[in-house]
Chains A and B, each alone.
Chain A
Amino acid sequence: MAIKDSAPAEAVADRPEGRTRRPSGTTRRRYPRRLTPYLFIAAAVSLLLLFTYWPAANLFYYSVTDWDGLDQTKHFVGADNYVRVFTDPRIFEVFFVSLYYFGASFVQIAIALYFATILSQSTRFRNFFRGVLFFPYLINGVAIGFVFLYLFQPGGTIDTVLSWAGVGDPPQWLGDPEVANWSLAGTSVWRYMGMNFVLFLGAIQSIPSELYEAAELDGANKWQQFRAIILPGIRRIIGLMFILSIAGSLSVFEIPFIMTGGANGTSTFVIQTIQTAFTHRQVGTASAMAVVLLAIVLLVTWAQRKLFPDEKVDLT
């Protein structure tokens, strides 16, 4: 048995030249051996170039033209579209909408961190609570949109619950521009919190339990344990999530698009881009908007790599 197991390894060890000789290759086959790896990656790389890099390159091209998406000819307009992105209030004002979602992401991370901490300890029905808190992340975005449209409608669930608490005159949750973005950001927290939570939970559970035991022997209470053990242990992933939430809050799309269509001052940068391209047929301007978003995301990622150079989180 033992001999059988080790046989292949020995055979390889015996003939190390067997492997090095192969790639340099003989040409008795139809194609040279060194082409083999390229054939394996060919399909994936072609799809990647065709459906990611080719459109991305075209975005740059369209962004300096006045193309409407139909015309045969595209006129070069220089930086006009970019100037428009930063001077047309209808376009740059939507940047401020992402601040609601950015603010909400702090709440989201705090809630996720709290529940990850308490569920990392022994808790009754732990798997049930973990499942309940995480499940919204898996639900179809359109379904979530409808669930919350129903919740927020006048006389709906929220208003009913508030009337039990004695609040008789609730706001128009989605109809009032002052409130609508808060409602949508809240929906976004409901939807995405579970993912942060599960990531935190994995990170906390990878901290060796001896550390808590030692701390407990030294008389540290739970809050001290959290400050001294958990927080330093997951500091990096918390930082990573804050940075990701910058890009995330700029890319908000599904929830406002499905629920309000961008009405009542809830339009986001992505909704605006899409409408500029497909409703107003200003592909040039929309491309410039997409390029601006891409530039911001790349900048944020570059900052992330600078701040957390060797991010290695193995959470499984």
Chain B
Amino acid sequence: MTTAHHAPESGLLRARRITAGGAKYLSLVIAAAVTLVPLVTVVFASFKTPAEYGSTGPMTPPANWFNFANFATAFDSGGMLEGFLNTGIVLAVSLAGTVFIGTMAAYGLDRFEFRGKRLVFGLFLVATLVPGVTSQVATFQLINGMGLYDTRTALILLFMGTDIIAIYLFIQFMQSIPASLDEAAMLDGANRWTIYWMIVLPLLRPAIATVVIIKGIAIYNEFYAPFLYLPSEGLISTSLFRFKGPFGAQWEVISAGTLIVIIPTLVAFLFLQRWIYKGLTTGAVK
């Protein structure tokens, strides 16, 4: 009786589970397609010759997958080498600055009690609310007044202005470093700078890695600051943006340039996924 009663029900349940499972995978496949198709068509276009581009549709794969001519054109005539070099310089200097300034600030804020500490925290928190692009109306006057317009220094300074997210990540990690380590070192006669340099900084390495990755991606993707402050040279975003003019309708070259910009991000994502997810979710909600 019980088995007879049971069998059809479990059969029904299983059938429902299979359709539910089917719908789930179908929706996932559709979402993956919607995400990937725009990118894949750009990959297709980037390998086509101009004649081939004109005669085939966007969903048609290229005839020759080893036609790298468009990539060479994009890289040479598009000034992408300059873009990568400038981005590399700005990235390296501002990341180094962010790490030192940010870890020092985090050390000061976490390990000391001092007058005005709450005010400083408040200042950093409120600063995240100031809308980035519109305040450039006034920031531009400042940079101009400092004589830094059209220099990489302007960008480095702007990127180095450490955000609360970096400081927050450092503080959060620093809280897991026992204060007894500092105190033991202090008893051995180390001063605060030695402790910061010899004990705290090396132990913060995982947090530093997270900040470098997250902030590195943000700087690599930054478009408006280089567009506004460094008009005569390109960072990678602005080099690519300038493809709009000279390459007009040469979509096969623009596609290649677009991919040249995306590929480093893809490589970084594939290798650093865990750090990226962790860093972004920690920083985003604060």
- A residues whose Cβ falls under 8 Å from a Cβ of B: 7-9, 11-12, 15, 18-19, 22-23, 34, 36-41, 43-45, 47-56, 58-59, 62, 69, 111, 114-115, 118-119, 123-124, 129, 131-136, 138-143, 146-148, 150-151, 153, 155-157, 160-161, 190, 195, 198-199, 202, 222, 237, 240, 247, 251, 253-254, 257-258, 270, 273-274, 277-278, 283, 286-287, 289-290, 293-294, 297-298, 301, 311, 313, 315-316
Given A58-B138, A132-B36; A44-B105 close (CB under 8 Å): yes
- In Å, the complex CA distance between A111 and B31 comes to 9
Q: Please indicate the chain A residues that have their CB under 8 angstroms from the CB of B91 in the complex.
A: none
Quick check: B32 and A47 within 8 Å, CB to CB? no
Task: Flag whether B86 is at the interface (Cβ < 8 A).
Answer: no
- In Å, the complex CA distance between A266 and B277 comes to 32
Q: Can you name 12 A-B residue pairings with CB atoms under 8 Å?
A: A8-B187, A12-B180, A22-B186, A41-B108, A44-B167, A135-B35, A146-B258, A151-B41, A199-B284, A274-B134, A278-B228, A316-B282
Task: Flag whether B129 is at the interface (Cβ < 8 A).
Answer: yes
- In Å, the complex CA distance between A299 and B154 comes to 31
Task: Flag whether B149 is at the interface (Cβ < 8 A).
Answer: no
Q: What is the minimal beta-carbon distance from B279 to any residue of chain A, in angstroms?
A: 9
Chain B 129-160 interface residues, beta-carbon cutoff 8 Å to A: 129-142, 157-158, 160
Pick from A53, A58, A139: contact of B127, CB below 8 A: A53
Quick check: B133 and A274 within 8 Å, CB to CB? yes
Q: What is the minimal beta-carbon distance from A283 to any residue of chain B, in angstroms?
A: 6
Quick check: A270 and B131 within 8 Å, CB to CB? yes
Quick check: B39 and A147 within 8 Å, CB to CB? yes
Q: Please indicate the chain B residues that have their CB under 8 angstroms from the CB of A38 in the complex.
A: 108, 114
Q: Please indicate the chain A residues that have their CB under 8 angstroms from the CB of B140 in the complex.
A: 277-278
Pick from B31, B39, B187, B282: contact of A315, CB below 8 A: B282
- In Å, the complex CA distance between A140 and B269 comes to 13
- In Å, the complex CA distance between A40 and B20 comes to 57
Q: Find the A residue at minimum CB distance from B160.
A: A47
Given A37-B112, A132-B32, A222-B20; A290-B101 close (CB under 8 Å): no
Interface SS of chain A: helix, strand, loop or mixed? helix
User: What is the count of residue pairs linking A and B with beta-carbon distances less than 8 angstroms?
Assistant: 274
Q: Find the A residue at minimum CB distance from B28.
A: A129
Given A133-B35, A142-B261, A147-B258; A43-B105 close (CB under 8 Å): yes
> 6 new A-B pairs (CB below 8 Å) besides A18-B186, A45-B120?
A8-B181, A59-B137, A131-B269, A141-B237, A142-B223, A298-B129
Quick check: B129 and A51 within 8 Å, CB to CB? no
How does the 8 Å CB contact mask read for B214-231 relative to A, with 1 for contact and 0 for none? 000100110110001000
Q: Find the B residue at minimum CB distance from A136.
A: B35
Quick check: A294 and B130 within 8 Å, CB to CB? yes
Ranked nearest first, the 4 interchain pairs of A and B with the lowest CB-CB distance are A40-B108, A8-B184, A37-B112, A44-B105
Q: Please indicate the chain A residues that have their CB under 8 angstroms from the CB of B104 in the complex.
A: 40-41, 43-44
Quick check: B27 and A150 within 8 Å, CB to CB? no
- In Å, the complex CA distance between A40 and B117 comes to 12
Quick check: A157 and B160 within 8 Å, CB to CB? no
Quick check: B142 and A58 within 8 Å, CB to CB? yes
Pick from B108, B183, B258: contact of A143, CB below 8 A: B258
Q: Please indicate the chain A residues that have their CB under 8 angstroms from the CB of B32 in the complex.
A: 129, 132-133
Pick from A9, A44, A54, A157: contact of B142, CB below 8 A: A54
- In Å, the complex CA distance between A105 and B239 comes to 30
- In Å, the complex CA distance between A11 and B184 comes to 8
Task: Flag whether B45 is at the interface (Cβ < 8 A).
Answer: yes
Q: What is the minimal beta-carbon distance from A152 to any residue of chain B, in angstroms?
A: 10
Chain B 226-264 interface residues, beta-carbon cutoff 8 Å to A: 228, 236-238, 240-241, 243, 251, 254-255, 257-258, 261-262
Q: Please indicate the chain A residues that have their CB under 8 angstroms from the CB of B28 in the complex.
A: 115, 118-119, 123, 129
Task: Flag whether B89 is at the interface (Cβ < 8 A).
Answer: no
Quick check: B129 and A301 within 8 Å, CB to CB? yes
